[in-house]
């Protein structure tokens, strides 16, 4: 009975389709020569058998093989993985002994074989439990874009647990389908499915489908997918067109002047060439005449005349043909690419507008304090940029003591206002009050103060840029698509600019201080007769403008570098903003900041490689603008305008 049972088991094992589990070592022994000395053509058979085996130890073997860590022992021909001085069994992964150089032969796959091994690994890694390996596999497919990866990628999508990675796989599968699907309908559907994707790699896929090559023929080929016809002299030069004819053996080659000279030299006999004495061959016409005699005798190739060249060009058709033979596919790709390029153009305009709006908000924050001190009081304060710098350094010092960046920013904003407000009041009391209505002396005095403040900052904080770190919730950017994005810091600066606009308008229009400031600005004598102290109002106004500059410094420090010279980067733009917008008008400051911000970004877009030239063009434009509208965009009216 036992014998019968053993015979039955042996018979079952010999049936087709039923086999015992095979070890990796056994499989490698069947391809021993290919594993030891793999070639780009032979490695495919080994990889196919390894993938089909389904053995779990295939992945670590492929990784070791790719990394050139596989050796063969000469005594028995078995393969091992070598790591350091130890050999490891390929099936169990256990150490089997020391690696001795004698008797071991390294497997050294070349670059092409290693790429093929990497492609095989991708099929396993697409469903690996480790999401990092799955992401790496997807990235590898995106780099290679090979038809062999389409089926494994599609098979791995359904079981993908990570939503973001699943969306990436589906997007990549659409691109591979657009390139390599077997049916025209599948490719067209995939191409149309890419219409809303503005990424560069999608456009690269569509451009691959729409790749063309030039051609020339006596008549337009009926089986070619023609992209466009080329007209010699318009779409391509006549010389290039004739060169295409020569390359296609459709016209005889041209004979150059050097070739004519070489042919004449080779045919000199008794001091003459074709009956022409050598001393008479000093001009191009004489050399061509002698060459034509040789050509009629069949000794050299004939010359091609201009008329013959023109006739050859007229008798042939020049064209660009798509490399993709299906016109339906190229039509779908062209329509999709046109839609994407239209969306990209609109998105680039929107992104440029966001950049301009962001820069305008930065300039507005930097200039709003100056709009009060210069626009309202008429004081040319060249140290305004240093108040911005003081505010930024205040934020830096606060962060040294308060490690919570959100809390530190909330503390730094009012503290920067207090510090720069006090500095502004001190400067007004000690210097500015003695120089009212003396603009040149005010300019020189404040310029000296700005240099002193810069040097003081260098002495305290050094010359290196200091970090003013934004909170975590301000990291990153708000991304609308692959073209439109704006950082959260810029959004925060824009919101802060709006808050300050509303706050200053409220103070100037709705509070007693604002009423007194406007009264002193328009008529100090009449304001004094009404019981208003002009000295006090000037002091508070200058302090308010300086305090706002300090808050602006905190905001700008989150976006730009914090150095002792950072104020100098904004003082020129701040003065231009106030002057262009309209002196003494908050709304004019907003208009001036918008004009300068959008103008600078527009010029930088037209000339992105030279920002210095962009700033120069912007200044020239502003000079011309002031010539035609000296009172700015929003000019004051009434007595203030007359003053």
pLDDT, position 101: 64
> Which DSSP string do the residues of 331-393 spell out, in sequence order?
HHHHHHHHHHHHHHHHHHHHHHHHHHHHHHHHHHHHHHHHIIIIIIT----TTHHHHHHHHHH
State the burial class of residue 275 (Cβ atoms within 10 Å of its Cβ: 0-12, 13-18, 19+): exposed
User: Regarding predicted confidence, which is higher, 609 or 338?
Assistant: 338
DSSP assigned state of 80: E
Mean pLDDT (the chain, rounded)? 83
Q: What is the mean pLDDT of residues 324-346?
A: 92
pLDDT, position 340: 92
- Beta pairing class for 317-322 and 212-217: antiparallel
pLDDT, position 583: 67
pLDDT value at 531 more than 70: yes
- Which of 99-103, 234-238, 337-341, 538-542: highest mean pLDDT? 337-341
Taking the domains of the chain in order of start, what are their residue ranges?
A: 24-115, 126-209, 212-322, 344-642
- Beta pairing class for 272-273 and 104-106: unpaired
Check: CB of residue 121 under 8 Å from CB of residue 105.
no
pLDDT, position 12: 39
pLDDT, position 586: 78
Q: Which CATH number fits domain 344-642: 3.40.50, 1.10.3470, 2.40.50, 3.30.470?
A: 1.10.3470
CA-to-CA distance for 417 and 551, rounded, in angstroms? Answer: 6
How far, in Å, are 210, 214, 326, 549, 569 from residue 226 at the CA level? 11, 10, 10, 64, 56
State the burial class of residue 74 (Cβ atoms within 10 Å of its Cβ: 0-12, 13-18, 19+): exposed
Q: What is the mean pLDDT of residues 51-79?
A: 82
CA-to-CA distance for 643 and 518, rounded, in angstroms? Answer: 13
**How does residue 118 score in pLDDT terms, banded at 50, 70 and 90?**
confident
pLDDT, position 334: 93
pLDDT, position 5: 37
pLDDT, position 637: 52
H helical segments located in 161-237: 163-180, 184-193, 200-209
Task: Evaluate if pTM is beyond 0.85.
Answer: no
**How does residue 541 score in pLDDT terms, banded at 50, 70 and 90?**
confident
**How many Cα atoms occupy the beta-carbon half-sphere of 272 within 13 Å?**
6
pLDDT value at 277 more than 90: no
pLDDT, position 16: 38
Q: What is the mean pLDDT of residues 407-423?
A: 92
pLDDT value at 17 more than 50: no
User: Regarding predicted confidence, which is higher, 40 or 186?
Assistant: 186
Q: Comparing 186-190, 209-213, 290-294, which segment has the lowest mean pLDDT?
A: 290-294
Q: How many Cβ atoms sit within 10 Å of the Cβ of residue 439?
A: 12
pLDDT value at 390 more than 90: yes
pLDDT, position 21: 45
pLDDT value at 433 more than 90: no
């Amino acid at each position: 009975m036992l014998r019968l049972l053993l015979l039955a088991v042996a018979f079952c094992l010999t049936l087709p389709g039923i086999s015992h589990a095979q070890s990796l070592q056994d499989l490698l022994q069947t391809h021993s020569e290919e594993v030891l000395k793999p070639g780009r053509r032979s490695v495919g058979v080994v990889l196919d058998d390894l993938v089909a085996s389904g053995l779990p130890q295939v992945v670590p073997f492929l990784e070791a093989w790719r990394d050139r860590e596989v050796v063969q022992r000469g005594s028995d021909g078995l393969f091992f993985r070598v790591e350091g001085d130890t050999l490891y069994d390929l099936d169990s992964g256990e150490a089997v002994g020391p690696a001795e150089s004698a008797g071991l032969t390294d497997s050294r796959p070349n670059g092409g074989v290693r790429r093929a091994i990497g492609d095989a690994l991708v099929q396993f890694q697409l469903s690996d439990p480790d999401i990092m390996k799955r992401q790496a596999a997807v990235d590898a497919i995106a780099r290679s874009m090979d038809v062999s990866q389409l089926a494994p990628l599609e098979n791995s999508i359904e079981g993908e647990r990570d939503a973001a990675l699943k969306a990436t796989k589906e997007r990549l599968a659409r691109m591979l389908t657009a390139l390599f699907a077997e049916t025209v309908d599948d490719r067209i559907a995939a191409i149309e499915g890419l219409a809303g994707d503005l990424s560069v790699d999608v456009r690269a896929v569509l451009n691959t489908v729409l790749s063309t090559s030039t051609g020339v023929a006596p008549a337009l080929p009926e089986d070619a997918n023609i992209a466009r016809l080329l007209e010699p002299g318009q779409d391509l030069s006549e010389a290039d067109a004739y060169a295409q004819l020569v390359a296609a053996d459709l016209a005889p080659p041209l004979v150059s002047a050097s070739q004519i000279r070489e042919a004449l030299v080779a045919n000199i006999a008794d001091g003459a060439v074709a009956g022409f004495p050598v001393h008479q061959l000093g001009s191009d016409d004489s050399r061509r005449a002698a060459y034509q005699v040789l050509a009629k005798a069949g000794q050299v190739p004939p010359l091609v005349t201009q008329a013959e060249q023109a006739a050859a060009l007229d008798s042939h058709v020049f064209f660009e043909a798509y490399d993709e033979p299906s016109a339906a596919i190229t039509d779908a790709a062209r329509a999709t690419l046109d839609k994407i390029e239209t969306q990209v153009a609109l998105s680039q305009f929107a992104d440029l507008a966001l950049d301009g709006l962001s820069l305008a908000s930065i300039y507005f924050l930097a200039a709003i304090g100056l709009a009060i001190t210069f626009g309202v009081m008429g004081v040319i304060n060249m140290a305004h940029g240093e108040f911005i710098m003081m505010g930024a350094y205040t934020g830096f010092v606060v962060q040294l003591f308060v490690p919570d960046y959100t809390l530190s920013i909330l503390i730094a904003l009012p503290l920067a206002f207090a510090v720069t407000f006090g500095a502004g009041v001190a400067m007004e009391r000690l210097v500015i009050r003695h120089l009212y209505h003396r603009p040149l002396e005010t300019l020189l005095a404040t310029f000296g103060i700005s240099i002193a403040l810069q040097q003081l900052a260098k002495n305290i904080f050094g010359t290196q840029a200091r970090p003013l770190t934004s909170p975590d919730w301000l990291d990153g950017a708000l991304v609308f698509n692959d073209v439109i994005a704006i950082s959260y810091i810029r959004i925060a600066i824009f919101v802060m600019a709006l808050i300050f606009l509303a706050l200053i308008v409220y103070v100037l229009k709705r509070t007693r201080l604002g009423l007194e400031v406007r009264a002193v600005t328009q008529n100090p004598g009449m304001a004094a007769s009404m019981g208003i102290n002009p000295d006090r109002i000037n002091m508070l106004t200058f302090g308010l403008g300086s305090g706002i500059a300090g808050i602006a410094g905190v905001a700008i420090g989150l976006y730009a570098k914090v150095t002792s010279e950072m104020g100098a980067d904004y003082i020129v733009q701040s003065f231009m903003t106030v002057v262009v917008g309209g002196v003494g008008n908050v709304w004019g400051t907003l208009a001036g900041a918008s004009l300068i911000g959008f103008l600078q970004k527009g010029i930088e877009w037209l000339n992105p490689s030279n920002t210095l030239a962009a700033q120069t063009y912007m200044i020239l434009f502003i000079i011309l603008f002031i010539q035609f509208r000296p009172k700015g965009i929003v000019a004051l009216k009434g007595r203030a305008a007359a003053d």
